[in-house]
Amino acid sequence: MLLLLHPVGLDHDCWRFTGLDAITPDYPGHGGRDFDPDRYSLASIADEIADTHDGRFDVVGLSMGSHVAQYLAVRHPQRVRSLLLCCGSLGGTPETAAAITTDDRADETRELGMAGILDSTLRRWFTPELLARPDHRALVYTRDRLLTDNVEAVAASWLAIRRNAVADELAGLRVPTTVLGGRADSAATPDRVLRLALAIPHSRLEIIDGPHMLQLERPDDFAAAVRRHLDWAAA
């Protein structure tokens, strides 16, 4: 059973261009769901997913989803058949470019609102070539989604990423794990993706062409990478 875990601020629709048949849950505060800031963390999201879906998963998490996937694998190892961590990083490290931390990103979200951070978010997530095509389906979806987001849920998500505390436990993972990055990713840069791969014994590293939102800008290439992971994990 394939499980796809979405980035901060997006929802289950971010996977629609990939053609992958999967379970695609929304986190609290995303996709129109209610949000309780007192009960929101990577652990609570992972626990909810484990509690509301049966069986074992081939877990694919992208950006924030990669952090949720780490928690799912650490807290519910019996439920994870394989793990694909995409465009992510080790816990507690910045998920954004340069020296901007996730704490800064949370403050900026609260101060400026979703409209105020829209342009900088799009520049961080997509290539200049795609941004030059404002009617592209990936940009239309992303703009519409971000502009209707719950500001507090997005800010809390940045803080949740910062509080990822399972980095030291990744060395104990015993499931087939691939770490995937985008060559043009300015958020989870290839060197940051490499550090995540090195923290997981026997993991497989793959870097493909594309930016942070691989599933939106390069959906076919992303889906092909998922299938390669599933074939490798099954073998």
With 90 as the cut, is the pLDDT of residue 94 above it? Answer: no
With 50 as the cut, is the pLDDT of residue 95 above it? Answer: no
Nearest-CA neighbor of 219 among 211, 178, 234?
A: 211
With 70 as the cut, is the pLDDT of residue 85 above it? Answer: yes
Query: Greater confidence, 69 or 96?
Result: 69
For position 6, what pLDDT does the model report?
98
Longest dimension (CA), the chain: 49
- Identify the burial level of 1 via C-beta atoms within 10 angstroms of its C-beta, where 0-12 means exposed, 13-18 middle and 19 or more buried: middle
Q: Is 77 left (phi over 0), alpha (psi -120 to 50) or beta?
A: alpha
> In degrees, to the nearest 5, what angle opens at C-alpha 199 toward C-alphas 195 and 200?
125
The b-or-e profile of 212-232 (16+ CB within 10 A means b, else e) is: bbbbbbbbebbbebbebbbee
Tokens 């990713």 map to which residue?
185
What's the whole-model pTM score? 0.95
By residue count, the chain amounts to 235
For position 97, what pLDDT does the model report?
38
Amino acid at 94: P
Mean pLDDT of all residues belonging to the chain: 94
CA dist 45 and 28 (Å) reads 8
For position 17, what pLDDT does the model report?
98
> Tell me: the pLDDT tens digits for 35-75?
999 999 999 999 999 999 999 999 999 999 999 999 999 99
Task: Give all strands of the β-sheet with 80-86 in edge-to-edge order.
Answer: 2-5, 57-62, 80-86, 177-182, 204-208
Return phi, psi of residue 61, to 5°.
Answer: -125, 135
First vs last Cα of the chain: how many Å apart? 16
